[in-house]
Amino acid sequence: MNYPFWDVPIIGSGWVIGIISIIHVLISQFAVGGGLYLVLAERKALRENRLDWLARLKDHSRFFLIMTNVFGATSGVGIWFAIGLAHPESTSTLIHNFVFGWAMEWVFFIVELSSAAVYYYSWNKISHEMHQRVGWLYAISSFCTLVIINGILTFMLTPGDAWIAVAGTGQEASQFWSAFFNPTYFPSLFLRILVCISLAGIWALVSYSRLDYDAQAKGELITWSSKWLIPSFVATPIAFLWYLASVPEVNRALLQLGISTIGSGAFTQVTRIALVMVMTSATIVGVVYFFVRKAPQDFAFGHGLAVLFLAAVVTASGEYAREMLRKPYVIARHMYSNGIRQSEVAQMSEKGYLEKSLWVRPVTDKTNEPELILSKGEAMYRGQCLNCHTTTGYRAMTKLLSGRDHQSIGNLLQTLHDYKDDSPYKKYMPQLVGKSDEIAALNDYLDYVVNKDKSRIAGLMRARESKSVAQAQ
């Protein structure tokens, strides 16, 4: 491994990415849908000569500018920092494979940021036609950022056969377009466009809920904004089914796993999270119908925040489910979630995992000192487990291995190392790689973490201590 390992206690590095991403997605998809919202609302106001609407839209565009250009942009940079630390290998692969894509993304991003600022600061300073053109420039450039990032995100779940055929050969960039327009590209793009449009409406509801000083405009704008949720309500189930149909059967199986069970060892979160998505989406429909459509002028700031919170739950659930569907890979069929490439597995099991780990202290195999065994085991744990597990917090080893003794942990590790087709863990866990002494050291380390004084290593330490006491006497 070429990079050091990032140990985030309690929540794990995955949740650092997750928390930043949820905030970012909520704002960045608003940035895409909100651009279209602003120009269409402005056009409607001009056509109907509603000057009061224009004043309110100017206020909304200030809110939009602050949310997207400040919070959206900084959380986006935050994601780069977080994925760079948590998943350096996969981040490196994405950068190398999509250099041209990232270049395009950042060009559109700069246009997007600039035009958003120009759009707000030029209200009433340039002609309406010119102002609308700036608005359209923003809407198109922000849409293009979605078009590009969608290709890279979907690539991670379904890289496509053509790219997989050249993966690891140094010729990956030759399959740029097939990797980009991968099997889930279009359903995912369609789904994200629907979400962007909905979020434009939801954020507008939040923004206008405080317009109590202009009750008429509030009622009209809230009613009009609520219509932005209709496409999503109508088309999302279809888009979701289309998306699922494009996902490989093996990933879809994860979704079905939780229908019948939450049995120990089964990976059923995807199903449960999908249920949360359905439930919260249905609630948004209910709230918008009962509160927004029926009594728009009574729609309070608290209602707006409640709808936004529900949207955040749906977004978080959706992103979480998408990440889970990818298990055991971070880039499907190419790189496991712990950064090990599928092509490296055989070699690492033969020559050793720690041999290639530049950031592990050299550990000699010629000694049986308990501390050195633990050190080697910990290095294995950090390299192969830490991406998805923590010691005592999220997906805690102490909880998952609770009740297992040294022998039982060893059996589990052997199952993960053998990685037979009928292994239940194969659906969501990477293959454990390493030579037998490395796996034995991991076994000792996990036994020590879980069983403390009752572990084999603690026994060795006590025996050594007794021996040294006896020698001293």
- Two structure tokens written together for 38: 């602003």
Q: Which is nearer to other proteins, 261 or 423 (CB)?
A: 261
Q: Are 347 and 338 in contact (CB under 8 A)?
A: no
Judged by beta carbon, residue 362 or residue 403, the one nearer other proteins is 403
Q: How far is the CB of 277 from other proteins (least distance, A)?
A: 10
Shortest gap between Cβ of 10 and other proteins (angstroms)? 17
Single-letter amino acid, residue 209: S
Please identify, among the stretches 144-152, 278-286, 430-438, 457-465, the one whose residues bind other proteins according to the rule CB under 8 A.
278-286
Q: Name the one range near other proteins by CB under 8 A: 180-188, 203-211, 284-292, 376-384.
A: 284-292
CA-CA distance, 243 to 384, in Å (whole number)? 31
Q: Are 20 and 82 in contact (CB under 8 A)?
A: yes
| Structure tokens, 458 | 């603690």
Q: How far apart are CA 391 and CA 385, in angstroms?
A: 10
Residues 218-277 that bind other proteins (CB under 8 A): 259-264, 272-273, 275-276
Q: Sort residue 419 into left (φ over 0), alpha (ψ -120 to 50) or beta.
A: left
We find the least distance from the C-beta atom of residue 310 to other proteins, in angstroms, to be: 7
Q: Please say whether the beta carbons of 353 and 346 come within 8 A.
A: no
Of 313 and 348, which has the nearer Cβ to other proteins? 313
Task: Give the interface segment with other proteins, choosing from 11-19, 283-291, 415-423, 462-470 (CB under 8 A).
Answer: 283-291
Among 80-88, 220-228, 287-295, 421-429, the segment contacting other proteins (CB under 8 A): 287-295
Taking Cα atoms as reference points, which of 35, 48, 40, 26 lies closest to residue 120? 35
Q: Which amino acid is at 448?
A: Y
- The only residue of 70, 238, 279, 346 in contact with other proteins, by rule CB under 8 A: 279
Minimum distance, C-beta of residue 303 to other proteins, in the bound complex (Å): 9
- Alpha-carbon Rg of the chain, whole angstroms? 26
Residue placing its CB nearer to other proteins in the complex, 260 or 414 = 260
Using CB under 8 A, pick the residue from 40, 173, 244, 287 that binds other proteins: 287
CA distance 36 to 142: 9
Identity of the residue, 99 or 295, whose beta carbon is nearer to other proteins in the bound complex: 295
Question: Peptide bond before 328: cis, by omega within 30 degrees of 0?
Answer: yes
Contact with other proteins (CB under 8 A): which of 92, 283, 347, 415? 283
- Of 265 and 459, the one with the shorter C-beta distance to other proteins is 265
Contacts of other proteins in 170-199 (CB under 8 A): none
Helices (H) and strands (E) in the chain, counts: 20, 2
Contacts of 362 by beta carbon, 8 Å cutoff, 6+ apart = none
Identity of the residue, 250 or 295, whose beta carbon is nearer to other proteins in the bound complex:
295
Q: Taking CB under 8 A as the rule, does residue 452 contact other proteins? A: no
CA 28/CA 22 separation, integer angstroms: 10
User: In this chain, which of 237, 286, 424, 459 binds other proteins, going by CB under 8 A?
Assistant: 286
- What CA–CA distance (Å, rounded) separates 293 from 222? 8
The one segment of 22-30, 85-93, 279-287, 325-333 that binds other proteins by CB under 8 A: 279-287
**What are the distances in angstroms from CA 446 to CA 66, 250, 336, 453?**
48, 30, 21, 12
- Please return the burial class of 26, using the count of CB atoms within 10 Å of its CB with bins 0-12, 13-18 and 19+: buried
Quick note: the x/- pattern for other proteins over 297-326, rule CB under 8 A, is ---------x---x--x-------------
Comparing CA positions, the residue from 327, 321, 230, 326 lying closest to residue 275 is 321
For the bound state, the minimum distance from the C-beta of residue 394 to other proteins, rounded and expressed in Å, comes to: 13
Nearest CB to other proteins, comparing residues 208 and 291: 291
Of residues 99 and 262, the one with the C-beta less far from other proteins = 262
Considering only residues 85-144, where is the footprint of other proteins by CB under 8 A?
Answer: none
d(CA 427, CA 254): 7
Nearer of residues 276 and 345 to other proteins, judged by Cβ: 276
Footprint on this chain of other proteins (rule: CB under 8 A): 259-264, 272-273, 275-276, 279-280, 283, 286-287, 290-291, 294-295, 306, 310, 313
